[in-house]
A and B are shown apart, each in its own frame.
Chain A
Amino acid sequence: DQQVKQNSPSLSVQEGRISILNCDYTNSMFDYFLWYKKYPAEGPTFLISISSIKDKNEDGRFTVFLNKSAKHLSLHIVPSQPGDSAVYFCAVGRSNDYKLSFGAGTTVTVRA
């Protein structure tokens, strides 16, 4: 029973353009949301997060948007760079819990 879904397994984008990654979750009790980036043969690294009291959080080229009513979040990368080519995982959790639930990941390829 997968609580977090990333329906696009892959995304190809041209350098300099916007990358948009999507994530849907099932449980309205989740109240914080994170994105992780993973390169091959490495562990995931924390990228950006947002709590349920916000609908947008920005950090440089990365912006996360949260739509609580739709149980949907997205990650925008603008502009996309070759170094952004990686697998991106969406993760969700509850503030009274220790556990994060992860999506299956979206592989982003930035073309030069």
Chain B
Amino acid sequence: DTAVSQTPKYLVTQMGNDKSIKCEQNLGHDTMYWYKQDSKKFLKIMFSYNNKELIINETVPNRFSPKSPDKAHLNLHINSLELGDSAVYFCASSQVKAGAYYGYTFGSGTRLTVV
């Protein structure tokens, strides 16, 4: 039973399209995150929600909009996709504030390719 699950695992789409990535965690964690791993392999935070409330919103184009219907779900919607959005997107969750000693639990990632 996967702790943090993301769908889809792979997503290939054309420029200008709108797409969504879904994330669900069954760990009972209070905080969820979206990270982007770019071509240089850095993992950069995009958003974080704590109990459905947005607490981190890094410098991300407003074409990216997170939505958390409940604390077990955090979805990412991307409008008007651009070539530069191609990356691997990771969802993660944590229980204690900022992950502390237990760290995040990551999903397996969604590889987005914009053509």
| B residues neighboring A (CB under 8 Å) | 4, 31, 33, 35, 40-45, 48, 50, 55-56, 90, 92, 94, 97-109
Contacts and interface: CB of A to CB of B under 8 A. Distances in A.
A40 to B, nearest CB: 10
A99 to B, nearest CB: 5
A51 interface: yes
Interface centre among B4, B31, B33, B97 (most CB of A within 10 A): B97
13 contacts: A2-B42, A32-B100, A43-B90, A43-B108, A49-B100, A49-B102, A95-B98, A98-B33, A98-B99, A101-B45, A102-B35, A102-B43, A103-B42
A44 B107 CA distance: 8
Interface string A54-97: 00000000000000000000000000000000010101011111
A104 B4 contact: no
A99 B57 CA distance: 11
Given A34-B99, A98-B97, A105 B50 contact: no
Given A41-B109, A43-B4, A44-B106, A95 B42 contact: no
